Structure formats: structure tokens, C-alpha cells
Amino acid sequence: MNFLSQITGSFAMPAAENPTVAMMDAAYRHHGIDARYINCEVAPEKLGDAVRGARAMGWKGFNCSLPHKVSVIEHLDGLGESAAIMQAVNCAVLRDGRLIGENTDGKGFLKSLREIADPAGKQVLVFGAGGASRAICVELALAGAERITVVNRGKARGEELVKLVDTNTLANAEFLPWSSSFRIPGETDIIVNATSIGLYPDIDARLDIDPVSLTPGLVVADIIPNPPRTRLIEDAQARGCEVLDGLGMLVNQGIINIKYWTGVDANGAVMRAKLEEIFGL
């Protein structure tokens, strides 16, 4: 039995109902992978002990969530390319006896986005500048997006992200302040909600944008996984935009994690079906 685990500090749900655990276990069962994905609550001051424990027990790897994504780095042996740029890790992988930190959040988003649009050469506008936005902006830039516009409530965080993308990638990045009833510039190809606006239980919350600027043909991606049909997705669909919900990112980062840990190409339909069952879709 191999253990592939999640080291987490902030899950509100008990493990039995945790959608990520259920999704990963569904994939393991479907492919007959002899492993378990278990949820471990780890206090920040015990993170080093937890990683040493994972090494001692021979785990193939683990995911880690907030607040460990940055602090875990000092306990690892190296970083993948995008994780090194972001300085944030959500997936550790045992390779030739070394624990390497990767970031599969942004890669998962990119994989799901590519099912409807290739970001290469495109103008992308991303709302939010937190950890998820950081991962998404770096991967979009590495995938050849021409311009990445970050719109964030807090100016300092937004400008810091723009500097990170500008310094480390070939994409042009710019920051725009989030003015009231924000108008999406007409030349935009893709917008992404990478804020936490709309996340359960605040399901009626809307981005402060001018709905008229959601024009037909615009690709609108929301990374909120719960509920998958956010107000943004509903509004965008009603206005003729092409939409992508947050389950796509969750499923695809899981697929990449499983590939890293086991080499298996996991079946995304099985994983998504499990999430849809949990969310009652």
C-alpha cells in the first residue's frame, strides 16, 4: 500500500466529506491504484515534522494547502520550474529519493482552459492576486499568453504579482485598479475569476463588473469549485460567453498530481462525476 497524502492546515470539512479526497479515491479505485489519499491536519509549527514523517513512511508525495504552500519549501529538496517562479508548492513528488515541490494549481487550470481555448497569443484578464491567481498567471505566461492584466482589490498585492510575471516570463503584465462596475476592456479574449468571491456560503456574491462588458464569445473562467455554477458563470452564459467552471481546475490538478505520483493518466470523467455527485449536480 502506498500513501499519497494531503498535508493541510485549513480544511473546513471532515475527511469523509472532503471533495478532493473523494475525487482522488474515486480515481485510485477506477484505475486499481494501490494507494490511499488521506487528509492530515498539520499545525504550522509541526510542518517540518510532518514532511519528515512522510519521508520516513515512504510516501510517494503529498499535496499541501494553505497555510503551508510557501513554508513547505524549506523542507523539500528542490522545486519544479513554475513552483520556483511562484515560490509556492501544492504538490510534493518523490523523485529518485528527493522530494521535489511542484505547483499543479496553475497547471490544472491551464489543462482545463485548453479544452476550450489556447491562451497562446491571447489577452487575459485575471481578477485576484492571491495564491491561486499567482499560480494561474505564471502558467498562463509560460503558455505564451501575450498580455496578462491583473485586477485586484488590494493594489500592493496586484502590483507584486505583475512584477513577478514581468520579471520571470516573456508575457507583458499590467495592473489595473478595481474601479466600481469595472468594464472589461474590449480587446480581452479570456477573463478568470481567481478571487474567492462566490465561494460557498457566499453564493450570491458577484464580481463588481459591468455586465454589459461580458460580450458574446469572451471566454469566462471561474475557479470557484463550490458551487460550480457561480453567479459569474450564470451571468456570462446568459450573455453568450463561453464558460469554464472551477471543477475543471480541481479535476485537472488532481490528474496531474496522480500522473506525477504514479505515472497513471487518470480518467477525468470519473473524477468529475464524483465531484458532481458530492455537489448534487
For position 64 contacting ligand NDP by CB under 6 A, the verdict is no
User: In the window 142-201, what residues touch ligand NDP (CB under 6 A)?
Assistant: 152-154, 157, 194-197, 199
Given the C-alpha cell 458530492, which residue does it identify?
278
Q: What amino acid is encoded at 184 in this protein?
A: I
- The yes-or-no answer on residue 274 being catalytic is no
> Residue 73's CB: how many other CB atoms inside 10 A?
17
Active-site entry in 69, 107, 111, 122: 69
Distance CA 229, CA 8 (A): 26
**In the complex, least distance from residue 112 CB atom to ligand NDP, rounded to whole angstroms:** 9
The CA-atom distances, in angstroms, between 209 and each of 37, 180, 268 are 39, 7, 32
For position 132 contacting ligand NDP by CB under 6 A, the verdict is yes
For position 128 contacting ligand NDP by CB under 6 A, the verdict is yes
DSSP result, 62-95 = EEE-TTSTTGGGGGSSEE-HHHHHHT--SEEEEE
The CA-atom distances, in angstroms, between 215 and each of 185, 191, 208, 220, 241 are 10, 11, 16, 10, 6
List the one residue from 137, 250, 255, 275 that touches ligand NDP (CB under 6 A).
250
Sign of the Cα pseudo-torsion (165, 166, 168, 171, in order) = positive
User: In the window 84-113, what residues touch ligand NDP (CB under 6 A)?
Assistant: 105
List the one residue from 23, 27, 94, 249 that touches ligand NDP (CB under 6 A).
249
Nearer to ligand NDP, 104 or 262 (CB): 104
For position 227 contacting ligand NDP by CB under 6 A, the verdict is no
CA torsion 102→105→110→116, rounded to 10°?
A: 150
For position 222 contacting ligand NDP by CB under 6 A, the verdict is no
For position 136 contacting ligand NDP by CB under 6 A, the verdict is no
Interface residue list for ligand NDP (CB under 6 A)? 66, 105, 128-133, 152-154, 157, 194-197, 199, 223-225, 246, 249-250, 253
Residues annotated as part of the active site:
69
